Amino acid sequence: MDAPPASGSATGIDRARLEELLAGELERFAESNPGSQQLYERGRGTLLGGVPMSWMAKWAGGFPLFLREASGARIVDVDGHAYVDFCLGDTGAMAGHAPPATVAAVAEQAARGVTTMLPSEDAIVAAEELTGRFGLRGWQFTLSATDANRFAIRLAREVTQRPKILVFDYCYHGTVDETFATLAGDRVVARPGNVGPPVDPALTTKVVQWNDADALEQALAPGDVACVLAEPALTNIGIVLPDPGFHDALRELTRRTGTLLIIDETHTFSAGPGGCTAAWGLEPDLLTIGKAIGGGVPAGAYGVTDDVAERVAARADADYEDVGGIGGTLAGNALSLAAVRATLTEVLTEEAFGRMIPLAARFAVGVADVIENAGLPWHVTELGARAEYRFSATPPRNGAESAAAGDEELERFLHLYALNRGVLMTPFHNMALMSPATSEAGVDRHTEVFTEAVRDVLG
Ligand SMILES: Cc1ncc(COP(=O)(O)O)c(C=O)c1O
């Protein structure tokens, strides 16, 4: 999930033609999805906005498709249309839908009890697996990546006794109050559309541009920042990769100023079995992750280094076990942990990533060829099993540049065009994710549809 892209910034597009094509696609969508439309209308009677979670209304067709079933990289809607799914639940289903090993573990555990407030052995196996992949020990489990980030931030503030956190402009780390901050010039302000912020985010948060080590140095210098919360690469405003050396600077500056570094691998897990942390040799003090690790079953986790674990334990007055602000009644439940264990040990394995990553490369080559042949000033970026195209000639270096390369209308048209032809992209920007069940044929279907969409737009 992320900020809405800027409207109409893609160059070389005839806007009147785009508008006309979009209207045609909307008509086609409505005609071919009567079952989904009917359910949506019925849902409006009792669901806020007609959907169980407000962002489900974001799909490009004006109403969402309703799910009949999903398996592997394939979704079937209630009208019987099948889709190649590159959205994969915005990473929640990176393991593929209903992966057999996870389904079997979940079914077995559900029959033996779901939530008891007692730990299960699966928790230990899951934590051992995470340690093997990411290098940190000292794991805790949550139900979401948002919660993992919230608790990691609390721990960072507790052990450093510092009030602020620092994030990068146009980041997204879940619905974490402190992170809905952006830059207006040099000033920190609330992200546009921020719903009911508890306080002015400038009180809690410093913001700098991604890849700007000088600004980072300045922001950390006063020593009032508990932690930097960062994805290894921005993934929620398109993909914005780190410049060579930026992570070294980030680590050196955080260490020098006694600031903890929290790396959020929720999306960048696509880089490999140990995310970017393993792939790029990062050394976070705390690491957070969620979405994919449970194979679609709600689960998140955060891990800490031995040093942070000692500092956490040393805070004698902090209440970690009851009403101190960390935890959740269902967090660490046996069902989630059975899902995490099965997903990590049997589905999102090293071998699986070995198949997923070349598929993202195939996707990117297909898109890049279309862009080049059409002479469009667009580009495509890969991050392991994830690829994304964006409407600027060169890859942006920070979130603000990437936001400026957004084009809401064009994006909507491309998404809807794909949807009407059996290809499902994430409703947020132009991201495509590969699962262990994704096939070359599925990737090639996207290339075909993208080729036709671009041809139609250019006329
Ligand atoms: C990098 C990152 N961290 C955390 C989250 C929050 O995940 P969830 O909404 O599952 O809590 C997201 C969601 O998109 C994310 O992109």
What's the pLDDT tens digit per position in 61-96? 999 999 999 999 999 999 999 999 999 999 999 999
Residue 126 identity: A
Residue nearest ligand 1's atom 9 by CA: 174
pLDDT (tens digit per residue) in 259-282: 999 999 999 999 999 999 999 999
| DSSP E strands, 130-242 | 137-142, 164-168, 181-184, 187-190, 205-208, 225-230
67 within 8 A of 51, measured Cβ to Cβ: no
Strand (E) or helix (H) holding 249: helix 246-256
Q: Is 150 in the pocket of ligand 1 (CB under 6 A)?
A: no
Check whether 4 has a pLDDT greater than 50: no
Residue nearest ligand 1's atom 4 by CA: 173
Q: Is 267 in the pocket of ligand 1 (CB under 6 A)?
A: yes
Of ligand 1's listed atoms, the one at least distance from the Cα of 147 is 11
Check whether 34 has a pLDDT greater than 80: yes
Give the residue-averaged pLDDT of 187-204.
Answer: 96
Q: Is 145 in the pocket of ligand 1 (CB under 6 A)?
A: yes
Cα-to-centroid distance, 148 and ligand 1 (Å): 10
214 within 8 A of 208, measured Cβ to Cβ: no
Give the residue-averaged pLDDT of 416-423.
Answer: 98
Instruction: Identify the residue with better confidence: 59 or 266.
Output: 266
Cα-to-centroid distance, 323 and ligand 1 (Å): 25
Residue nearest ligand 1's atom 6 by CA: 174
CB count within 10 Å of CB 257 equals 18
**How much is the pLDDT for 7?**
55
Kindly report the pTM of this predicted structure.
Answer: 0.97
Cα-to-centroid distance, 301 and ligand 1 (Å): 12
Q: Which tokens belong to 161?
A: 């006794």
**How much is the pLDDT for 6?**
52
Q: Is 266 in the pocket of ligand 1 (CB under 6 A)?
A: yes
Check whether 5 has a pLDDT greater than 80: no
Q: Is 302 in the pocket of ligand 1 (CB under 6 A)?
A: no
Distance (Å, rounded) from C-alpha 373 to C-alpha 368?
Answer: 8
Cα-to-centroid distance, 145 and ligand 1 (Å): 5
Instruction: Specify the 3-state DSSP secondary structure of 205.
Output: strand
Q: Is 268 in the pocket of ligand 1 (CB under 6 A)?
A: no
Q: What is the dihedral of CA 227, 229, 230, 236, to 10 degrees?
A: -160
Cα-to-centroid distance, 326 and ligand 1 (Å): 18
Cα-to-centroid distance, 79 and ligand 1 (Å): 30
Give the residue-averaged pLDDT of 409-434.
Answer: 95
Q: Is 182 in the pocket of ligand 1 (CB under 6 A)?
A: no
**How much is the pLDDT for 131?**
98
Of ligand 1's listed atoms, the one at least distance from the Cα of 265 is 1
Cα-to-centroid distance, 454 and ligand 1 (Å): 31
Cα-to-centroid distance, 176 and ligand 1 (Å): 9
**How much is the pLDDT for 355?**
98
Q: Is 2 in the pocket of ligand 1 (CB under 6 A)?
A: no
Distance (Å, rounded) from C-alpha 455 to C-alpha 390?
Answer: 17
Residue nearest ligand 1's atom 15 by CA: 173
Q: Give the mean pLDDT of the chain.
A: 96
pLDDT (tens digit per residue) in 130-152: 999 999 999 999 999 999 999 99
**How much is the pLDDT for 8?**
65
Q: Is 170 in the pocket of ligand 1 (CB under 6 A)?
A: no
Of ligand 1's listed atoms, the one at least distance from the Cα of 291 is 10
pLDDT band of residue 12 (cuts 50, 70, 90) is confident
Distance (Å, rounded) from C-alpha 47 to C-alpha 40?
Answer: 9
Q: Is 264 in the pocket of ligand 1 (CB under 6 A)?
A: yes
395 within 8 A of 349, measured Cβ to Cβ: no
432 within 8 A of 267, measured Cβ to Cβ: no
Check whether 27 has a pLDDT greater than 60: yes
| DSSP category for residue 82 | E
Give the residue-averaged pLDDT of 380-391.
Answer: 97
pLDDT band of residue 177 (cuts 50, 70, 90) is very high
pLDDT (tens digit per residue) in 14-24: 999 999 999 99
Check whether 1 has a pLDDT greater than 60: no
Cα-to-centroid distance, 374 and ligand 1 (Å): 35
Q: What helix, strand, coil percent values describe the chain, rounded to 5?
A: 45, 15, 40
Q: Is 173 in the pocket of ligand 1 (CB under 6 A)?
A: yes
Of ligand 1's listed atoms, the one at least distance from the Cα of 144 is 11
Strands 386-390 and 67-71 come out as: unpaired
**How much is the pLDDT for 238?**
96
Residue nearest ligand 1's atom 3 by CA: 173
2 within 8 A of 174, measured Cβ to Cβ: no
| DSSP category for residue 403 | H
CA angle 145, 288, 434 (to 5 degrees): 70
pLDDT (tens digit per residue) in 305-356: 999 999 999 999 999 999 999 999 999 999 999 999 999 999 999 999 999 9
312-321: Cβ within 8 A, 24+ apart: 312/155, 312/158, 312/159, 314/159, 315/158, 315/159, 318/158
